[in-house]
Structure formats: structure tokens, C-alpha cells
């Protein structure tokens, strides 16, 4: 079971208290982080696209297919306009629909322990009964609670879940609300959005959770979104007929009657337009004016909120993404990468673990060995991250880099099992930074390694062909370790320039080299037109086959080896290619 027991629960709760207190201390609202009206400057970014990408992660964390929050958002805006809500109310509806479950990582560890390991399946099952009558809820719990556990374990877990009554659900909602408020402020959203998260489980008749509000005292955004999320769930299960049955049964009990009446009148046609294709662009198009924008310089604050959201998934990953981002950026600067590459690497490091939300904590927090099937699920998380980021135009360029943080030079990584030249140098830096940071943090199956021990493990990964030597040197330096013996190249060549030669030697064109290494085509010509020509004999003998188009692997490898373009402290062709 995933870290079960009161000790695990206490650990998770303590970590979250510490993390939230740190988030609040670091949060410094500034003028340029508050909502911006629509502007034409190219340095302004639509916040809606960023939040929509994050909503894909919350979908998976709740056991729903990606884009459920987007469909809920689209339906909510349609309802809000039929109800003649003002622009501020519509904006709150819009962002609450996208961020309703942004607190889903905050209690994932504890919930997994309570239900036998798979909190995602548990949440998916609860989706149909959360706003139902108590008899519906109890019937579901008795039939489906912790069904993957042994009978006695299931009975013990069920008794524990029921013993506290509504105390635990209320605590969970309060935690979700607190996390939502912090993250919403970090992203520059109105405080009302985060506050409304705490009211989305209130019922019209006052019998909801936390049970403090009823009727029109419940914020209108919460009343609308409570209906639309359920409508999407039931529409997926049984179409419009089932939706209509549930709406009529719960009208004036769980749901606001005015919202129900609008959906019964117009909902069938609205839903028909959302099921067969992506609604991404349509959701962006319906954002209420003025659209909220953030400055390019503030994108880091938004992505930092994404990192904090991902790291809350487990007490073992608190602060992990921020640590990787600092380390990766420092390594990039030490390796001499350009400013834009350093910024992109830091941003990719912040968001690379969003896909973790789609994997149950019973897997992430397990102290023992994982099964083959569980490992396959783990290997999916970089893919999920990449798919989420690829939707938002601003984040698309980060997607391949973020999705490659578990790749290895020898092809033993995941999810693509990419190797060698197909891994650009920033991806190698990110892999090394992620590995080092993970080693220095506690994990369920091992204690944290001391920094020196982690550095030695990185060296071992280099010797085994998993990690790039230059990337490891840069990460070690960024982490404050003394410089290790470095391979020296003749004619003053840098590691970056020799990497260009490696790719050219394998038959790549200058443009292909630039794509692999994220440099300009002109930089791909630099090694043999600059440093190599510092030594005329070396330059003439090596550049001759290049100028005459002899890019074949054998010709260039021979030319390179004859002229000693390989590390003097290494031997063998394999170290070059």
C-alpha cells in the first residue's frame, strides 16, 4: 500500500504545511503580476492558454480524460451569458472552471494511503456521487472503495475513512482552497478565483461541504461550475438522456435551479458541439474581456506556480522542480549556452513533471519494487507532460525539452528511448540536473544522498554511457563541486564545437546540426572556420573534406581521428560518436 498509516499521513500533512508557508512567504504581489487588459505588444502572453494547459494536468489528477475542464469551461461561459452575468463574474466563472481542481495534488499522498494506493481511480469513481444524495455516496463507497485491496485491508481502510465523518473531506477542501489561492495569486488571477474553489462542493440546500453556505450565498461561479462538471461527466457516461435525468433529480437540492433550467433548455446543443473534437481554440476565443495577459518577463512566475503544483503531488518531491530549474540553469550558464537557451532550460525544468499528476501516488510513494505494469505507467509521465505543453503556443518550444528529462545517451531512458545525437545538449543538461537533484532528496525506497555521493553517482552514470560528460561537469560545477579532470581537445576546441563535429561526421547537414543542438546554422560552421583554422595544418587537413562535400561517416571519422580531435584522456572511436 502507498505509504499507509498515521505516520505517513502526518508526514504528508507536515510537508504540505511547510510548503504552503514557504509559498506564502515567497509570494510578493506586484503591479505587473496582476490582471492585464488586452494589449498588442508581442511581449504579452495570454494567461488563459497557460491556465488551460495546467487544467489538462488537473483532469488527469482527477481521473478524467484531458480537456474535461476545457469542456466544462465552455459550457460554463455559455450558461453565464444566458444568466446575463457581468464581465467580472464571467471571468471568475471562466477561470474557476479551468482551476477547480488545482488543489488535487495537495492531498494526493494522504488520499492514496486512505484508499489503498490509487487515489486517481477513487476520484474518478466519486465524480458521479459527490453532489448526490448521502445514500448515493454511501452506496458507491460500499461497492467501490479500495476495490484493488484484499478484503480485510479494504474493510480496515473503509472503517478508517468513515470514522472521521466529514472532518477529513472538510480538511481536504480547505487545503485545496488554500493551495488554489496561493497558486492563483502567483499566476496573477483575482483572489475570488482561489476563494471560490472552497465553495464548489456546497449544495443549494445547504447540505454540501464544508456546509457553510446555501442558496444564493454560494458564489455564482461555484454554482455554475458545480453543475457543468457533473453535466460533462454524465454526458460521457450516458449521453443527454442521463444528463437530463440527473439535473431534474438534483434541481433545487444540490444545484441552483436557475442554472439547471438554462442547461435543460440549451445544454443538449451545446454538448453536441464539444464531444467530437478538441475545444482548445474555442475556449481561448470565449475568454471574457478584458483578456488577462502577463508580461514575457513574468512567465517564470506562472511556470513556478506550475512547478509548485506538480511538486505537491508527493511529500518526497517538495521543492524538486525548483531545485532542478536552478541547477539546470546554472549548469547551462557554466557550459556557455546563450541567454535564451538558459531561460528555456529553466522554464522546461519547472514544468517537466506536470505529467506526474496522471500517475497514482500508490506508485510514486511505494517503498518497494514496482511491477512491470507500474513501471510502464511511470514511463508515461514525460509523454503526458509533453502533450500538455504542446497545446499552448507559448509552451510548445519547451515541450520536447521537458519531455526528454529521463532520456539517456545510450538509449536506456524514457519515454522515447532516444540516444546520442538525437538528444540536444540542453536535454543532456536537464537529464543530469534532474538526476542529481533527485539523488539529493529522500525517496520512498532510499534516503537522500549526500552531495558528494550524488556527484560520484553522476560520474558513474557518465562512465556507463548514460549521461553526457560535459553535462555532468556543468551540473557538478553548478552544484558547487570542485572541477574534475576534464577531457582536453586540441586546437582549443570546446565541447560544444566537438559536438558539432560529431554530428557532421555522421552525415548531418548544418541545418540538422543546428536543430539537434538548438543553435543557428552559422554556429554549425563555427568549429572548422574558427578554432580549427587557428592551427592551419589541422584546419586545412580537416576542412578539406568538409568543403568538398565529403560528409560521409568514414571520410570524416578518418580525418578527425588522424588529426587527434578526440579527448586525450579517452581512447576509442566510441568516445567520439
List the chain pLDDT tens, one digit each, 577 residues: 444 444 445 445 555 555 555 555 544 443 333 344 433 445 799 999 999 999 999 999 999 999 999 999 999 999 999 999 999 999 999 999 999 999 999 999 999 998 899 999 999 999 999 999 988 888 877 787 877 778 888 788 778 777 777 777 888 888 888 888 889 888 989 889 989 998 999 999 999 989 899 999 999 999 999 999 999 999 999 999 999 999 999 999 999 999 999 999 999 999 998 876 789 999 999 999 999 999 999 999 999 999 999 999 999 999 999 999 999 999 999 999 999 999 999 999 999 999 999 999 999 999 999 999 999 999 999 999 999 999 999 999 999 999 999 999 999 999 999 998 899 999 999 999 999 999 999 999 999 999 999 999 999 999 999 999 999 999 999 999 987 655 555 556 666 666 677 666 656 676 776 666 655 444 444 444 444 344 444 444 444 444 444 444 444 444 443 343 333 333 333 332 2
Give the list of residues 6+ apart from residue 157 with CB closer than 8 angstroms, or none: 114, 115, 116, 145, 146, 149
What are residue 44's phi and psi, to 5 degrees? -105, 140
Q: Where are the domains of the chain?
A: 6-29+42-291, 297-478, 491-575
Nearest to 184 by CA among 192, 176, 194, 174: 194
Taking the C-alpha atoms of residue 569 and residue 487, their distance in angstroms, rounded to an integer, is 6
Q: Provide the grid cell at 440.
A: 539529493
How far is 443 from 449, CA to CA, in rounded Å? 10
Distance CA(315)–CA(442), nearest Å, equals 9
Q: Which is the CATH superfamily of the domain at 6-29+42-291?
A: Hypothetical protein af1432 (1.10.3210.10)
**Please, which residues have CB within 8 angstroms of residue 532's CB and are 6 or more apart in sequence?**
491, 493, 538, 539, 542, 543
What's the grid cell of residue 497?
564545437
Q: What global pTM score does this model have?
A: 0.80
Phi-psi category of residue 484: left, alpha or beta, with phi > 0 → left and psi -120 to 50 → alpha:
beta
Same fold for the domain at 6-29+42-291 and the one at 297-478?
yes
Q: Do 392 and 376 contact (CB within 8 A), yes or no?
A: no
Beta carbons of 481 and 427 less than 8 angstroms apart: no
> If we measure between CA atoms, which residue out of 309, 372, 430, 380 comes closest to residue 54?
309
**Residue 460: count of CB within 10 angstroms of its CB:** 12
Among 1.10.3210.10, 1.10.10.10, 3.40.50.2000, 3.40.50.720, name the CATH number for the domain at 297-478: 1.10.3210.10
Q: What is the 3-state secondary structure (H, E, C) of 145-204?
A: CCCCCCHHHHHHHHHHHHHCCCHHHHHHHHHHHHHHHHHHHHCCCCHHHHHHHHHCCCCC
Amino acid at each position: 500500500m502507498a505509504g499507509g498509516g498515521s505516520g505517513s499521513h502526518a508526514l504528508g500533512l507536515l510537508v504540505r504545511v511547510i510548503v504552503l508557508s514557504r509559498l506564502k512567504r515567497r509570494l510578493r504581489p506586484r503591479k505587473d503580476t496582476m490582471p492585464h487588459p488586452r494589449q498588442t505588444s508581442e511581449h504579452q502572453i495570454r494567461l488563459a492558454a497557460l491556465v488551460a494547459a495546467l487544467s489538462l494536468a488537473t483532469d488527469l489528477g482527477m481521473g478524467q480524460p484531458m480537456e474535461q475542464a476545457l469542456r466544462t469551461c465552455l459550457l460554463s461561459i455559455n450558461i453565464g451569458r444566458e444568466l446575463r452575468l457581468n464581465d467580472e463574474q464571467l471571468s471568475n466563472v471562466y477561470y474557476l472552471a479551468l482551476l477547480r481542481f488545482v488543489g488535487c495534488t495537495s492531498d494526493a499522498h494522504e488520499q492514496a494511503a486512505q484508499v489503498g494506493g490509487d487515489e486517481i481511480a477513487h476520484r474518478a469513481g466519486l465524480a458521479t456521487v459527490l453532489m448526490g444524495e448521502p445514500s448515493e455516496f454511501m452506496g458507491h463507497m460500499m461497492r467501490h472503495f479500495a476495490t484493488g485491496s484484499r478484503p480485510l485491508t479494504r474493510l480496515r481502510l473503509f472503517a478508517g475513512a468513515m470514522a472521521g465523518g466529514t472532518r477529513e473531506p472538510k480538511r481536504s477542501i480547505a487545503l485545496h482552497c488554500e493551495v488554489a489561492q496561493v497558486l492563483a495569486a502567483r499566476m496573477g488571477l483575482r483572489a475570488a478565483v482561489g476563494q471560490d474553489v472552497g465553495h464548489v462542493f456546497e449544495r443549494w440546500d445547504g447540505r454540501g461541504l464544508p456546509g457553510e453556505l446555501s442558496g444564493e450565498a454560494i458564489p455564482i461561479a461555484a454554482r455554475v461550475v458545480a453543475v457543468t462538471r457533473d453535466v460533462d461527466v454524465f454526458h460521457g457516461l450516458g449521453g443527454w438522456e442521463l444528463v437530463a435525468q440527473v439535473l431534474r433529480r438534483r434541481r433545487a437540492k444540490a444545484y441552483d435551479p436557475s442554472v439547471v433550467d438554462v442547461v435543460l433548455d440549451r445544454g443538449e446543443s451545446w454538448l453536441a458541439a464539444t464531444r467530437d473534437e478538441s475545444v482548445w481554440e474555442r475556449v481561448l476565443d470565449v475568454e471574457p474581456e478584458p483578456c488577462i495577459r502577463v508580461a514575457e518577463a513574468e512567465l517564470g512566475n506562472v511556470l513556478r506556480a506550475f512547478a509548485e503544483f506538480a511538486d505537491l503531488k508527493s511529500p518526497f518531491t517538495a521543492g524538486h522542480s525548483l531545485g532542478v530549474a536552478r541547477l539546470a540553469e546554472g549548469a547551462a550558464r557554466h557550459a556557455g549556452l546563450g541567454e535564451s537557451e538558459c531561460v528555456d532550460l529553466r522554464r522546461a525544468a519547472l514544468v517537466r513533471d506536470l505529467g506526474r499528476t496522471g500517475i497514482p501516488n500508490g506508485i510514486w510513494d511505494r517503498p518497494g519494487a514496482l511491477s512491470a505494469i507500474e513501471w510502464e505507467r511511470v514511463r508515461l509521465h514525460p509523454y503526458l507532460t509533453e502533450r500538455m505543453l504542446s497545446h499552448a503556443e507559448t509552451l510548445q518550444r519547451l515541450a520536447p525539452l521537458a519531455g526528454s528529462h529521463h532520456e539517456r545517451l545510450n538509449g536506456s531512458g524514457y519515454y522515447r528511448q532516444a540516444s546520442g545525437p538525437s538528444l540536444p545538449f540542453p536535454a543532456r543538461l536537464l537529464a543530469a540536473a534532474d538526476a542529481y537533484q533527485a539523488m539529493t532528496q529522500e525517496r520512498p525506497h532510499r534516503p537522500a544522498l549526500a552531495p558528494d555521493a550524488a556527484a560520484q553517482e553522476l560520474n558513474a552514470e557518465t562512465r556507463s554511457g548514460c549521461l553526457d560528460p560535459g553535462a555532468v561537469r556543468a551540473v557538478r560545477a553548478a552544484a558547487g563541486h570542485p572541477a574534475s579532470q576534464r577531457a582536453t581537445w586540441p586546437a582549443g576546441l570546446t565541447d560544444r564545437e566537438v559536438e558539432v563535429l560529431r554530428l557532421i561526421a555522421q552525415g548531418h547537414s548544418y541545418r540538422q546540426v543546428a536543430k539537434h543542438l538548438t543553435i543557428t546554422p552559422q554556429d554549425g560552421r563555427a568549429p572548422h572556420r574558427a578554432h580549427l583554422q587557428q592551427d592551419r595544418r589541422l584546419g586545412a587537413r580537416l576542412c578539406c573534406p568538409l568543403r568538398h562535400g565529403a560528409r560521409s561517416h568514414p571520410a570524416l571519422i578518418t580525418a578527425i581521428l588522424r588529426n587527434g580531435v578526440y579527448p586525450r584522456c579517452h581512447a576509442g572511436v566510441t568516445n567520439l560518436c
